[in-house]
Chain A
């Protein structure tokens, strides 16, 4: 069953020479050459010869990593192609080292019918430079009322089901969705949010919101909703995926559920791992997102959970917004930050360089763990595997600027910040998807 689609670009013949190949899945972390022939890894070894006609890429001093997989991307297509389309969004993904992305269903119209999903697949076949798949909505029109025709959507290739952007508001709806997931074999993913506690919220509730006079979104708003969904998942014996965990309190309930043996997985975004609510003092609307940036204690707990695997994977929640939604007062601005093009550099800068998380763990959480959750082949750098990899220059420092994006939108929470680590080459599904200007 196909779960991603892409443009039929030519497959590559490529020799990547002298890079530090770091692939936890294959158990390699050493300087090697990687030979890609007709889009597949042909050999990983020392002093490999370039076949005739093969491109040679000198990767001395660079990292050669399994490509990343994003379980949480907003491609905004159909409906808001002014903010992102499949071409620009997958180009942004490629520039960030991603080799597969999964788009959320909250488009206009919503991906809530097989016809809509086939429309996405057709666009991806025409435009996607890295393979793109899609979630389907849990409820029709994301209205939280009637379930979508999940079996047909699963047959059409939906990777999982999510009403992301909206919580599943009642316990009975969570229960019905989880029950029905046994028919489809696909996971239900939740955007956890107790709406009664969210109402009027603009940022994390705490000392910073008290000082700024912005409506607070308490950690409880997330942890309560996750706790409820986990209890229902336990009752139904169904798997559950939790989107964008932001609060330490949520980690407590996740930890207990995992200890009980529940089939639960969870993702965390680069911005929640790197920034806190203190940054919101600037009232810069690019720092407004949902769930909100939380306190340093939350951030530290998230980093620890990423390291331990309590948080299974990194997901960007790449949320492009037009200037009309962002170049407005903070309180009127849309929630969301872009993330595909900065994710690795942010985590390399804020976590790996500071020795909070080692490179191998980060690669697992960005590449192989999310692939496993999506039920697709994990990217691996070993003979016989499809070439899904990226090359990173770990010495390159760069400043995030609005001019530097392939995404059609520039609303990055990291604008103006200096990052280390630059993706110089991405091969996705055996195709050359990205090469940085020298």
Chain B
């Protein structure tokens, strides 16, 4: 049976400073430091196990005493948060890797929490800038001028799954799922083509993919990335690092993006997908699909026949429905899995009949309605700067400017749930252990990483607690243990360390 599809999302956000020097690296550092320092200050104020702490120092705007530097060699800012996420500067962008979770619904909860963390960060960072200056963060994947940055997904897979089979069978989904999880883009960023050659396309990212399979992530990007860094027991696991997706503003789109991919991966792992949905030319196809909002053009399959992206998606859905009957959906969370199947069918039905009927689920449809409505109202031609501005501002995370928030998108997570998840880890994975320990024993943890925590409890040498099993260290396993341990030393004693 397929392994539980433990998963996560890492998002590189767009960042600009307005009204002051626009250096994205220092702005990203400022943003993260402001958040870490302010949340630390607030915790001290409400007196959470900080009685022996030294008086708060006014200049501590940038103190990192609550955050832990992961063991990654970099001079850039790096913090691990009490919700188990990592918040850091990567390639001149602020990036949040959410904690490991087990279901698509949990993905949405902690992805929404990440958005709220960015919003808080903007709020805390602004007073540290010159008067009138502000840091503006977008949850998008392209600046419209040929520069792209990613929203990556990660999925746990069995090591024994042959990578060749995985890569060839997952490609059809990666090329065609953009019909429901594309975030939409005004214009075109294909090298050598005029930007206004395409008025509107489904995906932010499709223009940037040049290879079928490869290790690169910043140039010659491949549809299937071969990075082999499991952050878990390498004998048992691999991590599929997915770089092909867009960052979604729609919760349902994020839910479907991850939920459908989990199911397709489970089918591949169980040898149930087969080789009849292989594509002839995936790199050409991913662009063709993105450049065709009518959803009517066909792409070539490897057997020489042609199909629309929707037909490929129907093929995958039918196989997934059969898989649910024969294997169940325990690997993706049974209830969530069945809901994903139902919504998958609904979104394909809607896209086929009239994409506008799923404008409350699908980002590119929601965005296109705004762009086309605005163009019609003001008599603007395709390519007008104002239409590009609408595209950009759809992703603006400032609450008073965000157009996605006003586009009538359906939500599946309560706002309180997302706020809670800013500081609390998911109970279902090792992220629970990481987050709870960082919350309760911050002074005694000297390093945190995806697969270990290192404690300094005084007289003894540093103690490393390995976490090579993503599904150990859950609330079920360690909640009582942590509740009962006043100090890290007690915890380690109880763990037999």
A in complex with B: no
Interface residues of chain B, those whose CB is within 8 Å of chain A, are none
